[in-house]
A = this chain, B = another copy of it.
Amino acid sequence: MTVADTTAWWSTAITRTAPGEIELRGYPIEELIGKLDFVSAIWLLTRGSLPTGTQSKLLEAALVASVDHGPQAPSIASARMAATCGVGLNSAMANGINVLGDVHGGAGQQCVALLNDLVDTAARDERDLASIAAEVVADYRSRKAFVPGFGHRFHPRDPRRDPLLALVEEAVEAGELAGDHLRAGLAVEAALKPPMNIDGITAIIYAELGIAPELARGYFVLARSVGILAHAWEETGTGRRVKGPLPPPLLADYTGEQRRAYP
């Protein structure tokens, strides 16, 4: 082993730095500042090249639509509580982001994978999407599982569905997107009935844009980080210290063993 092995161990194709120089994916940073918008920077860093106008516009809409859904979410509540415990805003944000796991933040990723499967199956087996979607829905129902990206425990109809869907349809009509994943998503919706939610419609966007399922989760995390920051900062402004889930003097119920003597 040589020292070159240790620098190769940390090699990257994202950013090159040298004294006085920073290049992002090859572009000198001084040429980007003031010209490149933030969403295109997100695309550039994560995907390696600059987005087209349609790509940037759709990613932007998906991100804006996902910024927040209020303090009932454990991600937001975790960040707000952390902000009262004597850690920095960064640590409060970390706690909020950390709980965007498979169950709380993973439906979009799972839906991208599902849409990819549907499109691949349709192409491989030369079948129509409606029948494949019906099979998939029947399978989920037999397992009493939720189809990721469809239905919402709170919104009968997610208000983010229609405007995002309109943007996708517009891009498909303009020939900017292939439309396969859009059709797959609509086929599932038709078979399932509960309309697609924010995770479903953004999954269509991410899948149409060729974004891998796991990276789609990453984009959702970036978007929700905005709400997490906003809530942590709002909580900071209250001056509360050590905020728990219930206002004092309320106590959680105790349901365990009665008082007993230590042997």
Contacts and interface: CB of A to CB of B under 8 A. Distances in A.
Interface of A: 1-3, 5-17, 19-39, 41-42, 45-46, 48, 50, 57, 60-61, 63-65, 67-75, 77-78, 80-82, 84-91, 93-95, 97-106, 153-160, 162-164, 166-167, 214-215, 217-219, 221-223, 225-227, 229-234, 236, 241-263
A192 to B, nearest CB: 18
B99 A82 contact: yes
Contacts of A233: 46, 214-215, 218
A220 B72 CA distance: 26
Contact of A29 (B65, B100, B249): B65
A74 B244 contact: yes
A156 B252 contact: no
A88 B67 contact: no
Given A12-B254, A90-B97, 7 more contacts: A5-B250, A9-B246, A30-B159, A37-B60, A74-B82, A91-B91, A98-B98
A217 B86 CA distance: 13
A229 B236 contact: no
A102 B82 contact: no
B67 A45 contact: yes
A149 to B, nearest CB: 15
Contacts of A70: 12, 14-17, 251-252
A229 B222 contact: yes
A167 B30 CA distance: 12
B229 A46 contact: yes
A73 B244 contact: yes
Contact of A86 (B103, B232, B259, B263): B103
Question: Which of A27, A60, A87, A233 has most B Cβ within 10 Å?
Answer: A87
List the 4 closest pairs (A to B, CB-CB), nearest first: A86-B103, A13-B256, A86-B102, A26-B257
B82 A12 contact: no
A199 B215 CA distance: 29
A61 to B, nearest CB: 5
